[in-house]
Structure 1
C-alpha cells in the first residue's frame, strides 16, 4: 500500500514516517524543508519529493505519479506566534495548500483514505476536557486556518465518499522539534548551560503527547475501515502546568532551575487549560498512549549533543 505524507520530514512526520515504514507501507514524503529536515527520515531519494503544497502543478504531478492509497496531510505552518505575525502566509499554506492536495486527491483512482492533521486550537477556551462534539471557535489565525481545512475535508468527503479523517493534535513533544514550543525552548536553554531560564506564562496547563504515541495513533486511525467523515482528538488526556514541566527537568537533571518571566514571551490571549478527551480514539482503535512526560523528557535529555 502506497502512502504519501506531506510534511513528512517535519517534527511529527519524522515519527509518523518510520512507524508507517515499520508497518510495511511504501511511504513517499512531500516536503519543502522549510521547517523539516531531510536527515530526520530514512527515505530513498526516489521516495522523497522536494516541493511546496502551494505549488498546485507540482502537487498534482506528484500525487498523480504516485497514485497513493492513502494521503496523510501534515504539512502546515503551526507555530501560533509565527502564524499571528504572518497571517497571510499561514492562511495561504494551511488553506490554499490543503485545497491543492484535495484537488489532486479527487483524481486518484486508488485512494481509499485522506488523513488531515488539524489542531486543538479549533476549540474555544474551556476549563474542561474537550470532546470532538464540542463547539468549535478558534482564538487565532492558526486555529481558523485549520478549521477551514476541516471544512474543506468534509466537502471533499461529500463529493468523493472517500474516507476522510480530521485528527485534532494537542501539544506534541519529542525529538526533532522544529519550532520553539515550550518543552524544546526549555530544553534549548538548559542544553546551553543556563539554569536560570526565560519563559512566558507559567500557569497555563497543556495536554502534552509524545510524537511516538501520536505516530501509533495515526497508524491505528488509517487502519480503520469505512469511517466516512470523522474527527478524533489526539492527546494524552493529562494536562501539565509549565511549572510542572520545569520541575520534571529539574528532577531529572538533579539541578536547581530558576524561572525569569519574560514579558516578550507572554501571550495576550491565553488558555488556562487545553485538555483532550481521547475516549473516542481509544474506543474506536484500541490505542493507548505509552510515553509519560517524565519518560519523554528523560529521552530528550539522554540525547543531548
Structure 2
C-alpha cells in the first residue's frame, strides 16, 4: 500500500485527485491551510488531515517527516489569476517559498520515491495551435511567473535527490468543488439564478477545458507509470472551446436560449486568464 501526501488536497483539483486515489485503497494524507479549500470536500479521518500553511517551514517539516510518504503530490498554491494579480507578493511567496519549504522537507525523507508538481499552461504565451511540451514559455502574469520558478526548483530537487519527478502543466480545469468563479462556474451561477441574459467579459479566448475527474485519473496514471528521472507533461483535452461554445452547451442542457451581454469591466480580467490549449 502506497502512502501518499497531497498538499492543497482540500482544494478544487486536490479533492478530485484524492477521491480517485481512494479507489485504490492507498493511505492518503493531506496538508491544506483551508484558505481556498474546504475540509468538507474530503472523506478522510481527521488524523490524516493537517491544517497547515506551507509557508510555515518548521511545522511543515515536522508533519512531512512524521508522515514519511512514498509519493508527494504538490498542488498547494494560489492559482486564481485575478487574485494573484491583486496580491503579487503574497501569491508569489506561497507559490515559490511554499514550494521550497515542501522540497526542503522532502529531501531528507527515507521512503519518498516520486514527486508530482502541478504546473500550469499559463506559462505559455497565447497560441492559436495546440501546445506541445517543447513550446517556449513566456508567462504573461505573476501566477505563470511563480509557477515557472517552480519548474526550476523541481529540476534542482531532482538533481539533488534523484527522486523521480513529474512536472505536469494543467490546462483549464472544471468540475465540482470549484472555489473561484472561472468561466464555467460563473455562467452556471448566473443561469442558476434564473438569468437568461448573462454578463461575461472577453468572448474571444479559446480554452482547452479538462474535467477534474479526468485530470485526477491522469495524475494517478502518471504516478503509476512514470518511474525514471524527471519529465514534463501537458495535461489537457486537446480540444479548444470558445466562450460561445460553452454557452451553447448550457443552452443545450437547458433547452433555452441564452443571450450574452459583454461587460467591459470583465474584459481585461478574462484576457488576463486566457490561454489556448
Q: TM-score, normalised by structure 2?
A: 0.97
Contact 2:124 2:275 in 1 (8 A): no
How far residue 270 of structure 1 moved from its aligned partner, in angstroms, is: 5.3
Cross-structure match for 1:188:
189
SS in 1 for 2:12: coil
Instruction: Classify 1:59/1:273 alpha carbon distance in 2 versus 1 (closer, same or farther; 3 Å).
Output: closer
How many angstroms apart in 2 are the aligned matches of 1:148 and 1:215? 24
SS in 2 for 1:266: helix
2:19 equivalent in structure 1: 18
1:119 equivalent to 2:86? Answer no
Partner residue in 1 for 2:67: 66
3-state SS of the aligned residue for 2:145?
Answer: helix
Give the conservation status (yes or no) of the 8 Å contact 2:81–2:273: no
Asked if 1 retains the 8 angstrom alpha-carbon contact of 2:107 and 2:161, the reply is yes
What is residue 101 of structure 1 aligned with on the other side?
102
Identify unmatched segments of 5+ residues in structure 1: 276-305
> Structure 1 stretch 19-28 or stretch 169-178: which is displaced more?
19-28
1:157-196 matched pairs, under 5 angstroms: 157-196=158-197
Match of 1:85 in 2: 86
Q: Which residue of structure 1 aligns with residue 244 of structure 2? A: 243
Partner of 2:35: 34
How many angstroms does 1:272 deviate by?
Answer: 7.1
Tell me if the contact between 1:125 and 1:271 (Cα under 8 Å) persists in the aligned partners.
no
Q: How far apart, in 2, do the equivalents of 1:60 and 1:88 lie?
A: 23
Deviation at 1:251, TM superposition (A): 1.1
Give secondary structure in 2 for the equivalent of 1:264: helix
The offset of 1:227, in angstroms, is 2.5
CA shift, 1:133, in A, is 1.1
Unaligned runs of 5+ in 2: none
Q: What TM-score, normalized by structure 1, do the two folds share?
A: 0.88
Cα distance in structure 2, aligned partners of 1:52 and 1:270: 27
Q: CA deviation at 1:32?
A: 0.6
Aligned-partner Cα distance in 2 for 1:8–1:235: 20
Instruction: Please give the secondary structure, in 2, of the residue aligned with 1:223.
Output: helix
Residues 218-233 of structure 1: matches in 2 within 5 Å?
218-233=219-234
